[in-house]
Chain A
Amino acid sequence: METSSVPTPSPGGLPPALRGILPVLIAVPVLLLFDRLLASAPFATYLLSIMGVNVILAVSLNIVNGMTGQFSIGHAGFMAVGAYVAGVLSLSFKETALSFLPVAASDQVFLVVALLAGGAAAALCGFLVGLPSLRLRGDYLAIVTLGFGEIIRVVVQNTDAFGRALGLSGIPQTSSLAMVGFWVFLVVLVARRIAYSSHGRSLWAIREDEVAAEAMGVDTTGYKVRAFVVSAFFAGIAGGLFAHFVPIINPGSFTFVKSMEIVVMVVLGGLGSTTGAIVAAVFLTLLPEALRSAFTVMGAEGSLAQKVDQIRMPVYGLLLVALMLLRPQGLFGMKEIWEVLPRWLPRRRKGLA
């Protein structure tokens, strides 16, 4: 793993400049293709979009909670900031379009602008929240982020421009699976690049022992705040995306419970493991729907399934408890999937080579 960060001549013979953007060049057409293929399946699109948003949230929270070892439990607050800023922006530019572009393309441009604005607003909040609280050690960040999440919710609830308790509806539903997928891709790329950079090494050092890291000359507050801001930015993006495919956003969607759901994803996947966060987010998003399907099949006659739909959530909780008892370090621990896979399939790998 260490060797990978050393700039060696690329094995594939690609020039380094191209290698940097190659992932993007591959991802964009692939995502657009999937978007087209799934155009006739609205439920799959919706579910995958929700899943994508959860992946973005989990991976971005993992930068703070996993890699840096801080404990933030107000991620839904940053998501709300992004959702409302992007939502209000899109609402106010609903009728405008760029004249030199077709309407669909112009919508996408506006969406990206709104998302970036939402992300930037969330990042700013992250900076303001993080700067004072990350100077301290221990649980202060948890308390401050918890408070922040509640403040955002109460502010939204009492502001007419944000639709108060009823929520904001009528936001143009311009988000697509490709757009969500692209941001998922981007957040994972950023998370991995951070992890293997010198910046990331400092974050790992802070996680392991903050005093030792500081003694070695790591500017702990600076690194922590930067990690926190990046994390908040992507939470804002996730919120913005959420606002553009869910017909109505209201404060009830960004409660403390949502924050805890994201923390659960990170912990379940393994603190510090990006793959873990992805897998856990995918798993926890699909689990309730899968249980719904399972119960529908069990109660083919109808009435039983209806009754059982209610116990979906307790079952979800039980499964979670069981998983944590069986694997307290999370599904992946601190490892990534390519560090785990070779151990599982050593022979096949050789065979392939």
Chain B
Amino acid sequence: MRRSVPMLLAALAVMMAGCEKKTQPASTETDTSKQAAQGQGGTAPATPPAGTPTGEADTILLGVATSLTGGQATFGVSTRNGIEMALKEANEAGGVKGKKVAMRVYDNQGKPEEAAQAVTRLITQDKVVMVLGDVASSNSLAMAEKAQAAGVPMITPSSTNPSVTEKGEYIFRICFIDPFQGYVMAKFAREHLKVSKVAVLQDNKSAYSIGLTDVFTRKFTEMGGRITSTESYSQGDTDYRAQLTAIKKSQPEAIYVPGYYSEVGVIARQARELGLKVPLLGGDGWDSEKLYELGGSAIQGSYFSNHYSPANPEERIQKFVADYKAAYGGVPDALAALAYDAARVAIEALKKAPDTSGKALRDAIAQTKDFPGIAGVITLDENRNAVKPAVVLEVGDGTTKYVTTVNP
């Protein structure tokens, strides 16, 4: 009996690795993992043994990994919609070099380990030529590591944490980075609103919020302003009265709240209840229809920095907004616009590159210059980050008003 334990284990190990190996040589384009899963899971649902038609000669496959389920699902869905729309337009216009461009989307549940798994699968099983995603910086970091190691170019549409593109020369981003957003708001507060005393209320749970706060605090102080107090909350809290009372005591002229819309709306309401009448300032995490619902009249007159404004009268932006509305209903948020841009940059690179090898595509993306995106003109710098202006929007009654553009 004692010896049967290790024997059984060894047998199990042989079985597992054995069946994995067997499928290996035959499966240059079929789905190894699927067969492995069948072999090992036993009870896994039966899948036809036919290979998936991923490597067809007349399509170019792009990989997308984003959070379609989980806490940031709306971001992921917007991202997918934006990419889908760009691909559809490209295919209607004749595709790339006579080939159709298709995408394969995997859900990462908003978890980095799932993101790494999804991207590994996209690269090694589905043989995608390029990876797009994700929104949350933690997930993008996990993906970047794998994409860089495999030599497959990756474009993140909307991860603003600086460390993402530092992973290597195959990782690009087409949005601005957190420090820039902090700088934009500091500049706007100092020069446009002409305030000198600002309190900060940051979300301790999100790296994004902390990053924005750090830069805002530094820049605002450099520009001659003063931070009266710094308070923090955790994503998911519902009562902010203690922090707001402390902030009220410090008598600020504005409050910087670089959080997500779900909390900001409630914070605005509670601030007004406590008699804090000063405007709130924030970042692109505010950008959601839900903000007006949650904040109501309390959030009106507050400002946030964003990637683009759907109210911008430029023709191509209005066309994008109209097309998106027709296809998916609802006004596209910045994430959809950025994803649309990312996919178009990818398609542009596919057209320019001599072949679809990782290196050729990488070089083609790196040359992106003055690309007319929906969310600003995109020029990639030597650190593979986009250099582009940010817009500042004022929250009105159920909509936003374009206030100004801040250039880098």
> Interface of A with B (CB < 8 Å)?
1, 4, 12, 19, 22-23, 26-27, 30-31, 34, 37-38, 40-44, 46-48, 50, 154, 157-158, 164-167, 169, 173, 181, 185, 188-189, 192, 196, 242, 246-250, 252-253, 275, 278, 282-283, 286-287, 289-294, 296-297, 300, 302, 305-306, 309-310, 312-313, 337-338
Residue in chain B with minimal CB distance to A154 = B234
Q: How far is the CA of A305 from the CA of B54 in the complex (A)?
A: 12
Q: Establish whether residues A44 and B52, one from each chain, have CB atoms under 8 Å apart when the complex forms.
A: no
Q: How far is the CA of A287 from the CA of B161 in the complex (A)?
A: 33
Would you give the shortest CB distance from A9 to chain B, in whole angstroms? 13
Q: Establish whether residues A26 and B6, one from each chain, have CB atoms under 8 Å apart when the complex forms.
A: yes
Q: Establish whether residues B117 and A48, one from each chain, have CB atoms under 8 Å apart when the complex forms.
A: no
7 contacts between A and B (CB under 8 A): A34-B17, A37-B17, A38-B17, A43-B32, A247-B144, A247-B146, A282-B40
Q: Establish whether residues B5 and A287, one from each chain, have CB atoms under 8 Å apart when the complex forms.
A: no
Q: Establish whether residues B6 and A47, one from each chain, have CB atoms under 8 Å apart when the complex forms.
A: no
Taking A4-B1, A253-B113 as given, write out 5 further A-B residue pairs in contact, using a Cβ cutoff of 8 Å, ordered by the A residue number.
A12-B3, A38-B17, A41-B32, A247-B142, A296-B34
Check A247/B80 contact, CB under 8 A, given A30-B14, A47-B117: no
Check A282/B41 contact, CB under 8 A, given A23-B6, A26-B6: yes
Interfacial chain B residues near A275, Cβ < 8 Å: 8
Q: Establish whether residues B33 and A252, one from each chain, have CB atoms under 8 Å apart when the complex forms.
A: no
Q: Establish whether residues A287 and B138, one from each chain, have CB atoms under 8 Å apart when the complex forms.
A: no
Q: How far is the CA of A30 from the CA of B16 in the complex (A)?
A: 12
Cβ of B399 < 8 Å from any Cβ of A? no
Q: How big is the B interface, by class?
A: 35 or more
Q: Establish whether residues B45 and A290, one from each chain, have CB atoms under 8 Å apart when the complex forms.
A: yes
Of B2, B68, B142, B161, the residue contacting A310 (CB under 8 A) is B68
Interfacial chain B residues near A192, Cβ < 8 Å: 5
Would you give the shortest CB distance from B314 to chain A, in whole angstroms? 30
Interfacial chain B residues near A26, Cβ < 8 Å: 6, 10
Q: Establish whether residues B13 and A248, one from each chain, have CB atoms under 8 Å apart when the complex forms.
A: no
Q: How far is the CA of A63 from the CA of B69 in the complex (A)?
A: 33
Contact indicator per residue, chain B 143-162, by CB within 8 Å of chain A (1) or not (0): 01110001000000000010
Interfacial chain A residues near B16, Cβ < 8 Å: 48
Cβ of B21 < 8 Å from any Cβ of A? yes
Check A292/B106 contact, CB under 8 A, given A41-B32, A43-B124, A248-B138: yes
Interfacial chain A residues near B42, Cβ < 8 Å: 283
Interfacial chain A residues near B113, Cβ < 8 Å: 50, 242, 246, 253
Cβ of B398 < 8 Å from any Cβ of A? no
> Interface of B with A (CB < 8 Å)?
1-6, 8-10, 12-14, 16-17, 20-21, 24, 31-34, 36-38, 40-45, 47-48, 50, 52-53, 68-69, 80, 84, 102-107, 109-113, 116-117, 120-121, 123-125, 137-138, 141-142, 144-146, 150, 161, 163, 204-207, 210, 234
Residues of A contacting B: mostly: helix
Interfacial chain B residues near A282, Cβ < 8 Å: 40-41
Q: How far is the CA of A290 from the CA of B45 in the complex (A)?
A: 7
Residue in chain A with minimal CB distance to B122 = A43
Residue in chain A with minimal CB distance to B206 = A165
Q: Establish whether residues B161 and A286, one from each chain, have CB atoms under 8 Å apart when the complex forms.
A: no
Interfacial chain A residues near B137, Cβ < 8 Å: 166
Q: How far is the CA of A305 from the CA of B69 in the complex (A)?
A: 15
Q: How far is the CA of A291 from the CA of B125 in the complex (A)?
A: 15
Q: Establish whether residues B80 and A43, one from each chain, have CB atoms under 8 Å apart when the complex forms.
A: no
Would you give the shortest CB distance from A81 to chain B, in whole angstroms? 17
Q: Establish whether residues A27 and B10, one from each chain, have CB atoms under 8 Å apart when the complex forms.
A: yes
Interface centre among A1, A169, A189 (most CB of B within 10 A): A169
Q: Establish whether residues B37 and A297, one from each chain, have CB atoms under 8 Å apart when the complex forms.
A: no
Residue in chain B with minimal CB distance to A188 = B9
Of B44, B84, B111, the residue contacting A253 (CB under 8 A) is B111
Q: Establish whether residues B111 and A252, one from each chain, have CB atoms under 8 Å apart when the complex forms.
A: yes
6 closest pairs, A vs B, by CB?
A: A166-B207, A293-B34, A23-B6, A247-B145, A4-B1, A290-B44
Q: Establish whether residues A309 and B1, one from each chain, have CB atoms under 8 Å apart when the complex forms.
A: no
Of A47, A189, A250, the residue contacting B112 (CB under 8 A) is A250
Q: How far is the CA of A50 from the CA of B40 in the complex (A)?
A: 14
Q: Establish whether residues B6 and A309, one from each chain, have CB atoms under 8 Å apart when the complex forms.
A: no
Interfacial chain B residues near A37, Cβ < 8 Å: 17, 21
Check A246/B116 contact, CB under 8 A, given A23-B6, A34-B13, A169-B145: yes
Interfacial chain A residues near B111, Cβ < 8 Å: 252-253
Q: Establish whether residues A300 and B41, one from each chain, have CB atoms under 8 Å apart when the complex forms.
A: no
Of B9, B45, B80, B141, the residue contacting A169 (CB under 8 A) is B141
Of A44, A173, A248, A306, the residue contacting B36 (CB under 8 A) is A44
Interfacial chain B residues near A38, Cβ < 8 Å: 17, 20-21
Q: How far is the CA of A98 from the CA of B112 in the complex (A)?
A: 32
Of A173, A309, A338, the residue contacting B8 (CB under 8 A) is A338
Interfacial chain A residues near B120, Cβ < 8 Å: 42-43, 46
Interfacial chain A residues near B2, Cβ < 8 Å: 4, 19, 196
Interfacial chain A residues near B121, Cβ < 8 Å: 43, 289, 292
Residue in chain B with minimal CB distance to A24 = B6
Q: Establish whether residues B4 and A338, one from each chain, have CB atoms under 8 Å apart when the complex forms.
A: yes
Q: How far is the CA of A189 from the CA of B113 in the complex (A)?
A: 28
